[in-house]
Structure 1
Amino acid sequence: MSAQIELTLLLDDFKKQRPLRAGSLIISLFGDAITPRADKVWLGSLFELLSPFGINERLVRTSVYRLVNENWLNADKQGRRSYYSLTQSGSKRFQNAFEHVYQMKTPHWHGSWCLVFLNQLKNDMRKQVRDELEWLSFGSMGNDVLLHPRINRHDITALLNELNCQQDVIVMQTEAISEKSPQALYKQVNESWNLDQLAQRYHQFIARFTPLHQTIKQNMNLTDQECHLARTLLIHEYRKIVLKDPQLPDPLLPNEWEGYQARQLCRSLYQSLYAQADNWLDKHLENEMGKLPPADDSFYQRFGGL
């Protein structure tokens, strides 16, 4: 099968998704294609980028409106044109999430755990804090206790300060007494993050994108726009899984963890697609200053270096 046919199959699968989450795809586009170039993008550019995915202008408008209300995006209307950029809190979330998407190796783990106790919070605030911590890939040990094997202390402090609940949340850094992890720890890890389900999602990702990868290795005949479409689908589907992946240290993961193979596949396919995709984006992304500039140097550090 040709690469075009494989791409068409991927696009058809995406269009069949119900509900069709345009807002999530917009987030993927901002993180992968827009923010390496500029802070702001014209709504008309989003129309053009999203149309091939079966997302019409009405759905784009509804989705960006919702993202503005959820404090992901800022809207800037100039005359008859509207431009969108990340909010400060949206930018922080982007940085945390997309660092995981493009990293190749997880940092060394020293065996410590961060525990967060929410039992002193009121119910509505407890849910809000829990949601934010789960966004940072915390796992649950029950209704009121969350854990993470490694987390930036500054991120936790900043989050609690932002939510104005630092006096009502208990945060501890701890480590196991024994250097050898007991079987109970592995069971707890699997329960807290549902690794079986996560492994299944990685397996599906590998099955979905391996045919495209193989055909491209044999004959790279995609157009620049087709490379953009393939790259967007690749990162979008990978990002959705990585956001649920706590990036656990290797000692806590099963042998032959599916996430390793998925990461290698994503990196290899991305390297095959990014240059032509960028050629197309150069001509089709605009803001109030005109065409967006080329991607910055940080873009080329993705996946350990493009």
Structure 2
Amino acid sequence: MLPPAQQRLEDFRQQDRVQAGSLIISVFGDAVLPRGSRIWLGSLIELLEPLGLNERLVRTSVFRLVKEEWLRTEPSGRRTDYLLTPSGQRRFEEASRHIYASSAPLWDRRWRLIVTVGELGPKEREGLRRALFWQGFGVLGGDCFVHPSADLTAAFDALHAEGLSGILGRLKPLLAADAQFGTAANDVDMVNGAWNLDHLAGVYAGFVERYQPVLDQLRTDANNEIDDQSAFLLRILLIHDYRRLLLRDPELPDVLLPSDWPGQKARLLCKELYRRLLAPSERHLDAHFQLASGQTPPASRLIHERFREDDPLAELA
């Protein structure tokens, strides 16, 4: 039987279908952005090959991300670097404030609303619903999308990046104090109508079930021994899974959540496991991360501030 860390990697490799583009986005946000937001394509291929992503799949996925304006190219001799576009970098930086936070954001008791004020065709409406779902918005009726803390400007920027700029003129952003919805009980009713919290709780529980054995393995190993490559691969999968989970999570305030909400446990788990994987994974990047010029840029010191608090690593109950 494989140790939990190796089992997690093997489970990923055995998937029938891998969404390589989404995984590459996670790699850029977590590992490439702190090293100057660019990487040689050959280096990216080498880093991802141990996860079972072959060269053709990586190339095809990267070309698609260029077409979708996440990335751009910059030749250097006979090689090519891939860089985050300015809009791609802004989207990553906005996401990073949520992904690497040590705790959930405080609620200012105002709801963010996006209301449709013009007619939308069925395809437009479904595209809007899907795009806002991945930003954590819930739906009230069919014409109002709600979120407790989203940056509405960033939300509209993301809709533009998703190719929905043609409908932005038919959307109206609003701020509403929670009192405008009535009592706290009415807020809870609204939350239950706008989001499927049971499903989201199940996704969080699945995340904990997947990564708790890995954390337990690292905790019980007195020397914290895991090879550098495995640490990097696990770090990428951890952040990839957590990023996709947070994208659909509105990060509701505690007062509006069930008392046994698993989101905080997942956050603490991700925080501790990431901190334990950080040093060996950075050694792997120092050895294998290259630009088209052959240089290896150092990581920004800010990477060591991720999930950082004044207290030592939080132990889970």
* Corresponding position: 1:149 with 2:118: no
- CA gap of 1:178–1:83, structure 2 versus 1, over 3 A, is closer
How many angstroms does 1:165 deviate by?
5.5
- The residue correspondences of 1:112-151 to structure 2 (distance < 5 A) are 112-123=110-121, 126-151=125-150
SS of corresponding position for 2:174 = strand
- Distance 1:274-1:194 versus aligned 2 partners, 3 A rule: same
Structure 2 residue runs without a partner (length 5+): none
Residue among 188, 191, 204 paired with 1:189: 191
Question: What is the alpha-carbon distance in structure 1 between the residues aligned to residue 181 and residue 251 of structure 2?
Answer: 22
Do the aligned residues in 2 keep the contact of 1:284 with 1:291 (CA within 8 Å)?
no
Aligned to 1:203: 205
SS in 1 for 2:16: coil
Partners of 1:121 and 1:92 in 2: how far apart? 30
Comparing 266-275 with 83-92, greater Cα deviation is found at 83-92
Q: Which moved more, 1:155-164 or 1:248-257?
A: 155-164
Determine the structure 1 residue equivalent to 2:230: 226
Q: Secondary structure of 1:19's match?
A: coil
Give the Å deviation of 1:17.
Answer: 2.5
* Alpha carbons 1:14, 1:53 under 8 Å: kept: yes
CA distance in 1, matches of 2:225, 2:156: 49
Alignment of 1:3-152 (within 5 A): 5-123=3-121, 126-152=125-151
TM-score (norm 2): 0.87
Which segment is superposed worse, 73-82 or 30-39? 73-82
The gaps in structure 1 that reach 5 residues or longer are: none
Change (3 A) 1:12 1:140: same
**What is the CA–CA distance in structure 2 between the aligned matches of 1:166 and 1:221, rounded to whole Å?**
51
User: Residue 54 of structure 2 aligns to which amino acid in structure 1?
Assistant: N
TM-score normalised by L of structure 1:
0.89
Greater shift, 206-215 or 295-304, is seen at 295-304
Secondary structure of the equivalent of 1:222? coil
- Determine which of 264, 273, 283 is the counterpart of 1:269: 273
Aligned equivalents of 2:31, 2:19: Cα separation in 1:
18
Aligned partners of 2:199 and 2:160: how far apart in 1?
33
Distance change >3 Å, CA 217–CA 71, structure 1 → 2: same
Question: 1:227·1:273 contact (CA, 8 Å) conserved in 2?
Answer: yes
Relative to structure 1, the CA distance from residue 141 to residue 32 in structure 2 (aligned partners, 3 Å threshold; closer, same or farther) is same
Aligned-pair CA distance for 1:92: 2.1
Q: Secondary structure at the match of 1:55?
A: coil
Q: Deviation string for 1:39-59 (max 9, x for gaps)?
A: 210011111111111110011
Residue 238 of structure 1: aligned partner: 242
> 1:251-277 CA deviation, whole Å, 9 max, x = no partner?
111112101001111111111110111
In structure 1, C-alpha distance between the alignment counterparts of 2:159 and 2:17, rounded to whole Å: 33
Verify the 8 A CA contact 1:190 1:196 in the aligned structure 2.
no
Per-residue deviation, 1:298: 2.1
Cα distance, 1:288 vs structure 2: 3.1
Check the 8 A contact 1:75/1:85 in 2, yes or no.
yes
Identity %: 41
CA distance in 1, matches of 2:67, 2:189: 39
- TM superposition shift of 1:245: 1.0
Amino acid in the other structure paired with 1:149? P
- 1:157 and 1:240 mapped to 2: Cα distance? 19
The residue type paired with residue 145 of structure 2 is L
Name which of structure 1's ranges 110-119 and 207-216 shifts more when overlaid on structure 2.
110-119
Aligned length: 303
**Which string of whole-angstrom CA distances, capped at 9 and with x for unpartnered residues, describes residues 214-237 of structure 1?**
111111221111211221121111
Judge conservation of contact 2:188–2:256 (CA < 8 Å) in 1.
yes
Task: Tell me: CA distance 1:247–1:178, structure 2 relative to 1, closer, same or farther (3 Å).
Answer: closer
2:287 to 283, 286, 293: 283
**Stretch moving more, 231-240 or 71-80:** 71-80
Retained in 1: the 8 A contact 2:131–2:159?
no
Structure 2: distance between partners of 1:70 and 1:263: 30
SS of match in other structure, 2:107: coil
Which whole-Å deviations, capped at 9, do the CAs of 1:163-215 have from their partners, x for residues lacking one? 37554322221122477412x43243134232111111111111111111111
Which of 292-301 and 157-166 deviates more? 157-166
Greater shift in the superposed pair: 38-47 or 124-133: 124-133
1:259 equivalenced with 2:263 (yes/no): yes
- Asked if the contact 1:121–1:169 (Cα under 8 Å) also holds between the matched residues in 2, the reply is no
